[in-house]
Structure 1
Amino acid sequence: MAFTRETAEAVTEERAAVVEGLVAQLGEAEVAVEVVEVEEQEGSATATLAWSWPLGPAGEPWEYESSVRLTEVEGAWQAVWERAVVEPSLRGGTVLDATPIGGARGEILGARGLALVADRPVVRVGLDKARIRPAQLEGAARAMARLVGIEPAGYLELARAAGEEAFVEAIVLRSQEFPERVALDYDTIPGGMLINDDLPLAPSREFAAPILGTVGEVTADMIEEEPDRYEVGDVAGLSGLQARYDEQLQGTDGVVVDAVASDGRERELWRLEAQAGEPLRTTLDLDLQQSAERILAGVGPASAIVALRPSDGAVLAAANGPGAEGLNIATFGQYAPGSTFKTVSALALLRAGLTTSSPLRCEATAVVDGRQFGNYSDFPSSGLGQVPLGSALADSCNTAFINARDRLGDGDLAAAAAALGLGVDHDLGFPAYFGQVPPPESETEAAADLIGQGRVLASPMAMAAVAASVQAGRTVVPQLLTQVEAAPSAGQELAAPEAETLQGLLRGVVTDGTASLLAGLPGPPVLAKTGTAEYERDGQVRTHAWMIAAQGDLAVAVFVEDGASGSQTAGPLLAEFLHAAR
């Protein structure tokens, strides 16, 4: 169309300048403009235009109307160009700009609705290349890397690859943990720069880290796998619950459109509010999780504490010690449970017709198909001989249980384990290993299974479920996420009378057996079972240390990969945790 005073090319160029800030937000979408009506007078006319800019993340439109004046020149219509044609309030020198509004990431909540992961202040430390001469870059990058404790060569490579005016991030630090040396020395490095920001973080760097996971800039692999969802610079969950529930936690971005005058003043024309992501609700108890992590902080080998609430299976704590090196052994570790598994063996024998007073042969050693089994090294000689099942469990006599193996049929041990929440998989919405009790492949393996060795495996969470099931009087399936619930498989549940008998047996372990260090704890009676499991590493026989316990509406499993015994190594940790929980 012809224009008065301006050429079509000039109008197109100015219009592009006016709307440049909007077009950048459209991606492949295009603005839609419709002629709504035309009012004609003698030699002139006014056309009403309907504009629709698809600026929202789901194409939500900014819609409005504007007018364009037309004049008739020698029988042809010409348009009068002015910025108000694009948006009715625009005047000379004013342009349009759209700014994204980030949708807040949903919080990860714990028990009582307390935020476990929420936006917390951080400081980004790095170099501003705009303030560095090329000759200074290598020295500055190496100095910054040394200051914050990262590998210099890798950071230098990153700095060289960045744009000429880029901020090259070296490290992100929590504000409350910001090192004094960095605060004092960063600006002595050419281009050294700090940027204050917020990131979704747990209360501490260690807090349930393997389970909750991390949030950060998307990786190249993530962009390649989901190019329609992610682009460079996006922030998303990278591991743990943050990654698995990223879509739920991700907020929806909004946008604000401003008219920007030549002096930089802004006038808001339209806003689409951002929407926060949906929170992820967990059962983790902030205080109990922190107590468990504090107790494990000084344990060298890999270790874990898992606490469940027997009444509903809620996972109140799932802590991994520093020796786990970032692995989630609390809910996904796979270890021989040792004598804590005698809780399962006792149930299987009760179901086979034994009672708590049924006599068993507790010997110094037992030989099965040529393999010799013994008791733990300082087993009391007074515990040898014909002993009732209750005493065999309290003293943790290996040979007594092994000598009773003929009382059990195929599948009896696995069925007892399932009734106590062990060996049956469930999808709980997070990495969870429930253990295994496979059919034995030999007589010696069948004997070893009864004392939690052989091919029997469990996670600390699974053994906590065993203690919880005994305490609750029914099969307990752990629950960490309130939106995901699993139930015991039909026909495998623990019966209340069975649980009552087991409660008496595990109470005897505290009053008269290997868990006597828990006898003096304040509060409701404590039930417990110790465990030591042998394993081989680098040609040496080593031992896992276990203890499970229940007190009131709390069931706990403590595991230390290398320890002296359950009572000596795991026991004090469990006692400290129960004290802290009161």
Structure 2
Amino acid sequence: MAASSTRRATPESPGAKRSRLRLIVVQALVLALFGTLLARLWYVQVLDGELYQAKAASQSVRDIVVQPQRGLIVDAQGRPLVANRTAWVVAVDRSVLGQMDDAAADVLLDRVATAVGLERPALDGALLDCGDAGSVEGTCWNGSPYQPVPIAVDVDREVALAIREQPEDYPAVVVDEQTVRDYPAPYGVNAAHLLGYLSPITESELDAAEDADDASVNGASVVGRAGIEQEYDAWLRGMPGYRRVAVDSMGQVIGDDSEIEATPGDTLVTSIDAQVQSVVEQQLASTIETARNTRDTVTGRNYVADSGAVVVMEADTGRIVAMASQPTYDPGVWTGGISQTDLDRLYSEEAGTPLLSRATQGQFAPGSTWKPFMTAGALENGYTTDSRLDCSSSLRVGNRDFKNYESGAYGSIGFAKALEVSCNTFFYRIGYDFWATYGSDVEDVDAFDPLVDEAKEWGFGTATGVDLPGEASGRIADRAWKREYYEAQKDFYCGLAEEDGNDFQHRFAREFCVEGYAYRAGDAVNFSIGQGDTIVTPLQLADAYAALANGGTLYEPRVAKAVVSPDGELVREIAPEVKATVDVPSDVVDYIDGALQGVTREGTMAWRMGGFPLDDVVVRSKTGSAEVYGKQSTSWVASYSDDYVVVMMVSQGGTGSGTSGPAVRAIWESLYGVEGDTVVPTAAAIPGVVAGEELPTFTPDGSILPPARDPQEGS
């Protein structure tokens, strides 16, 4: 019988069963994790691949600012007053410098400082980011941290090339050419106070630009600081470009990526004529030099002639044709950064504060140039052209004798003769009469004063509105001003009055403490001849005389004429702006006009105008010699024709016609082409005598064609 057997399955133990389940769970988890990872990789690389690729690229690409070429500034005939030129710039790449050990970096910086002529502390300061400890605004770096930091601009070509040709000795040093401001100086003009200068943007200015979403400036920008460079900075600065560069993980540039080109700034066409500006500057400088070598018979020493100004303005538009101020400075001194020595000089009182424009910011007693406006006030308030007053040698007011300065005694005369001979006592009597009639109550701040009201009518006491920054407003020393001044100063003077002492200062302090607010007869008579505390700027005076010339229209003077794009298209025309119309009867203006012709022909200016063709070129004049306590007199000549106003002032320079007369005549000769006693129209500085509204001719590439007739050609 065959035998068979059956094997029975062994039951699975509970522990083995649990182990098998755990393995299955782990396998499932691993598969799930791999699935999640694969899904995420697909999401990142396929679905959002472009987004993450862009983000990765942005971490290795940096923007470097490409500064735009600043716009030109040209005169009315297209001659460049401010242009651009290329200059060698030495910069330090701080990202490369940071890879060097401290000792090597220190040796390198010493070597660079020596090569470019910098003190080491100055170089270190230039490499600091603005806002870092020890940084100084104006010298620290405001720009991109990925951009080489300029440490020397306008470096000599030999020095720049020597550094460039020795890269092994100058790692981290970049030498390149950039554009900087240049001053071609046609006819040798300076025009520093008109043109202004540039300096690096400040942190606060950069913050303000960012708040305003102004992309035209950046941390490495330079901006206008004075003159028309500041006033029209937004037009001149252009728009920066950007060069994108690839950098490695350490921030070092490894290649270019792309570039957005910078947009050059617009060209500013001014109403300045370079030839007239040259004549004006030369005449002012030579007049001051002559005055300093001339004996002052009053003080017994030479005239100090510490400053001066000339303004030439179109009478019918208010456009500035020339404007000069002394002392002056070289505008090119700011190019590439100014030294502390030069900066100290520009602000130095000992050097005459050259940065101060005497034409728009200097304030001086106007002296007898004030009298035409006082004549208008008198003729509108009771006096007539037939009125006669005594031109005595002096007039006693209170306990003081007020004397004539430029004239002697002429007896009983009218307004025309009083202007012609510049009789002070004639106008003293008018000032005293109005004071006695309306304002003898010295405490009445609101008393009517016809002469004060008239001065305000002609724009005195307020800024003219010229398109130049920092203009002074002058001052009308009326009752309100005297009260305000007293309230501001009384504590000081009353304290001084309590001290022992019998010198002038202490005696004045005691008097001022008691009644310094009082507007007395002496104040009124001084006001009538432009003396005392009333002050004007030469530009204010020129603006008022322009209103006399054109029949009563006060303009806001303008230096700029038009803005033209880099491709030669007119962007903006800057038209003359009327500030106000003087409410003076035309017959009064005509009478004053005739009287001022008499000043030129027979009066105080006549001896300086002998032989001048006054029948062909009618010039009206008023001279002035303003007395200032403790100083020599200020020389003034204010004059005008049908076309122009010419005003000249020399502080501590002597009499009006004696000091300024020859220069004013020379300027008139230049304007009209006067040779001897003949007018030669083709010799006039400006073709056609007056420039008119025409602009220079611009070609499609933005270049400027030369004037149709330039007197400088062939010289």
TM-score with structure 1 setting the length: 0.70
Aligned to 1:311: 316
SS in 2 for 1:504: helix
The C-alpha deviation readout for 1:530-556, integer Å capped at 9, x for no partner, is 1111223xxx33222111111340101
Aligned to 2:388: 359
Q: Is the 8 A contact 1:334 1:433 kept in 2?
A: yes
Aligned to 2:451: 413
TM superposition shift of 1:450 = 0.8
SS in 1 for 2:412: strand
Q: Is the 8 A contact 2:65 2:242 kept in 1?
A: yes
2:538 aligned to 447, 451, 460, which one?
460
Change (3 A) 1:474 1:451: same
Higher Cα radius of gyration: 2
Q: State the AA in 1 paired with 2:612.
A: L
1:531 matched to 2:624? The reply is: yes
Aligned to 1:31: none
Deviates more, 1:453-462 or 1:387-396: 387-396
Q: Is the 8 A contact 1:510 1:519 kept in 2?
A: no
Change (3 A) 1:14 1:165: closer
Q: Is the 8 A contact 2:196 2:226 kept in 1?
A: yes
SS in 2 for 1:329: coil
The C-alpha deviation readout for 1:356-415, integer Å capped at 9, x for no partner, is 553221222222222322122xx454x432233222212212112102224546332134
Q: State the AA in 2 paired with 1:518.
A: M
- With a CA cutoff of 8 Å and minimum separation of 6, indicate the structure with the bigger relative contact order: 2
Q: Is the 8 A contact 2:462 2:474 kept in 1?
A: yes
Aligned to 2:658: 568
1:121 matched to 2:85? The reply is: yes
Equivalents in 2 of 1:265, 1:141: separation in Å? Answer: 28
Q: State the AA in 2 paired with 1:430.
A: L
Equivalents in 2 of 1:414, 1:451: separation in Å? Answer: 12
Aligned to 2:594: 504
Aligned to 1:198: 179
Matches within 5 A, 1:249-264: 249-254=236-241
Q: State the AA in 1 paired with 2:76.
A: A
1:439 matched to 2:478? The reply is: yes
Q: State the AA in 2 paired with 1:305.
A: V
TM superposition shift of 1:209 = 2.7
Aligned to 1:578: 668
1:111 matched to 2:76? The reply is: yes
Aligned to 2:549: 471
- Number of matched residues? 481
Aligned to 1:85: none
Change (3 A) 1:122 1:560: farther
1:239 matched to 2:226? The reply is: yes
Deviates more, 1:238-247 or 1:547-556: 238-247
Aligned to 1:141: 113
Equivalents in 2 of 1:526, 1:134: separation in Å? Answer: 69
Q: Is the 8 A contact 2:464 2:543 kept in 1?
A: no
Identical positions, percent: 26
TM superposition shift of 1:342 = 1.0
2:468 aligned to 430, 439, 443, which one?
430
Q: State the AA in 2 paired with 1:158.
A: G
1:215 matched to 2:198? The reply is: yes
1:286 matched to 2:253? The reply is: no
1:169 matched to 2:158? The reply is: no
The C-alpha deviation readout for 1:271-311, integer Å capped at 9, x for no partner, is 86654445545433333223322333453622111111111
Q: State the AA in 2 paired with 1:343.
A: P
1:321 aligned to 321, 326, 332, which one?
326
TM superposition shift of 1:528 = 0.7
Aligned to 2:374: 345
Judging by fraction of residues, say which structure has more strand: 1
Aligned to 2:682: none
Change (3 A) 1:528 1:370: same
Ranges in structure 1 where 5+ consecutive residues have no aligned partner? 26-98, 147-151, 174-181
* RMSD of equivalent CA atoms: 4.2
Equivalents in 1 of 2:394, 2:639: separation in Å? Answer: 28
Q: Is the 8 A contact 1:467 1:548 kept in 2?
A: yes
1:396 aligned to 422, 431, 437, which one?
422
1:541 matched to 2:631? The reply is: yes
Q: State the AA in 2 paired with 1:291.
A: V
Q: Is the 8 A contact 2:465 2:556 kept in 1?
A: no
The C-alpha deviation readout for 1:49-79, integer Å capped at 9, x for no partner, is xxxxxxxxxxxxxxxxxxxxxxxxxxxxxxx
Q: Is the 8 A contact 2:633 2:651 kept in 1?
A: yes
Aligned to 1:373: 402
